[in-house]
Amino acid sequence: MCYRGVRVEQIKEIRSVGSHITRLATRNSRLTTASRGRLPSKLLVHDDNTTMTRKSKQPGGHNPLTYAETKRLKSSGYGTQSTRLTSQSMLPFGHCCLSLSQIEGDAVATPSGHIYSRETIVQYLLTKNRELKEQKAEYDRKRLQVENRRAEWEEKQQKKSQQSFRSKDQGAISNALVLKDGGGGGQEAKTENSLSHVSYWLSSSQPDASAAGDGFDYEKEIMALPSPPPGRPPSPMSGEPLKLKQLIPIHLVYEQDEGISNNGGRVLCSVSQKRITTQETIAIKSSGQVMLASVFNELAKPTMTCPVTGKKFKDKDVIKLIKGKSGFAASGNVEAKKYNPTLT
């Protein structure tokens, strides 16, 4: 088969040779560009049948910032900032979780296992109770205003319904009298009423402001109020409701060094006299003794008797205290992160 004197087989062969030449030229141009440093080596085409992906050709398919620019911007607050926390940033065991200082007086523990100074946590509870009372009074005042508006609206609606009933009753009597007398006022009223429905631009067709704006949505008004304050102040660390009688007095044994009491705030196990740093620690509610969990499981748990005071205790009297932390990763999360929003 021929087309203008050229066979179809020859045409196909010419086209295949041309496409092969085009691929070779494209490959050579990319290699030349990469050798000049304009194209990363990962975008090179090593096969004649391999082309650039569609993602790399789209806007945003590559990072608009180089590594040096990203590193320079991170030092000035770009993106997520992270830092490694050291031991100086961690709260040692035996320090007050509220004042972040060494406990000088009586120490207490909460049901969540956090340790506080009695003076500090009592002052916190008194302050929070006073604030909650003020918030409760403000909430009750706003709630009373909503209830008063609801009562006024219900009374107004009742009066309006009574007045509407009276007007309808009197209107029926007057219409009956007019029809009996043979007057034509009813036809005029009917015509005016029909025009008010069709001609919405007339003043008589506009909605009544007193009737439309007098609505009262009780549920919407209640939802607009702020949430009622809790009945009890929350715990500073766990956020659970906390009462004064829930504070558990504990006895902390400090390491003695050259006659100095509370030397550096280093707490010792009341049984083994080992220093408590990041180990799991147990407090017995009935006796107030603080000991390592390993010592508790070995000496106290089998007999359910306190090794120091000899008092019996139950399972509900055992409180697992929050461990102390250090700069080592084994003690817990030692990295702090903060994200700064950016425009990129």
In tens, the pLDDT along 237-266 reads: 998 999 999 999 999 998 876 554 555 568
- Give the pLDDT band of residue 44 (cuts 50, 70, 90): very low
Q: Are 139 and 226 in contact (CB under 8 A)?
A: yes
Provide the mean pLDDT of the chain.
Answer: 76
Say yes or no to pLDDT of 320 above 90.
yes
User: Which position has the higher pLDDT, 24 or 224?
Assistant: 224
pLDDT at 57 over 60: no
Residue 41: pLDDT over 50: no
Query: Which region among 74-78, 101-105, 122-126, 307-311 has the lowest average model confidence (pLDDT)?
Result: 74-78
Q: Which of 249, 210, 255 is nearest to 93 (CA)?
A: 255
Cα-flanking dihedrals φ and ψ of residue 319, to 5°? -120, 130
Higher pLDDT, 341 or 250: 250
Question: How far lies 225's CA from each of 132, 134, 146, 147, in Å?
Answer: 16, 16, 9, 12
pLDDT score at 215: 67
Residue by residue, DSSP assigns 194-206 as HHHHH-TTSGGGS
Q: Which of 16-25, 62-71, 129-138, 192-201 has the highest mean pLDDT?
A: 129-138
The pLDDT confidence band at residue 163, using thresholds 50, 70 and 90, is confident
pLDDT band at 34; cut points 50, 70, 90? very low
Contacts for 233 with CB less than 8 Å, ≥ 6 apart: 124, 125, 128, 129, 132, 241, 242
Under the banding of pLDDT at 50, 70 and 90, the label for residue 117 is: very high
- Inter-residue contact 235 to 110 (CB < 8 Å): yes
Yes or no: say if 146 and 140 are a contact pair by the CB < 8 Å rule: no
Dihedrals φ, ψ of 289, to 5°? Answer: -85, 145
Task: Identify whether the C-beta of residue 251 lies closer than 8 Å to the C-beta of residue 271.
Answer: no
Give yes or no for residue 201 having a pLDDT over 90.
no
Work out the pLDDT band at 132, boundaries 50, 70, 90: very high
44: Cα within 13 Å, side-chain hemisphere = 13
What percent of the chain has pLDDT above 90?
33
Residue 161 has pLDDT above 90, yes or no: no
Of 20, 21, 40, the residue nearest 31 (C-alpha): 40
pTM over 0.85: no
Q: What is the mean pLDDT of residues 270-297?
A: 92
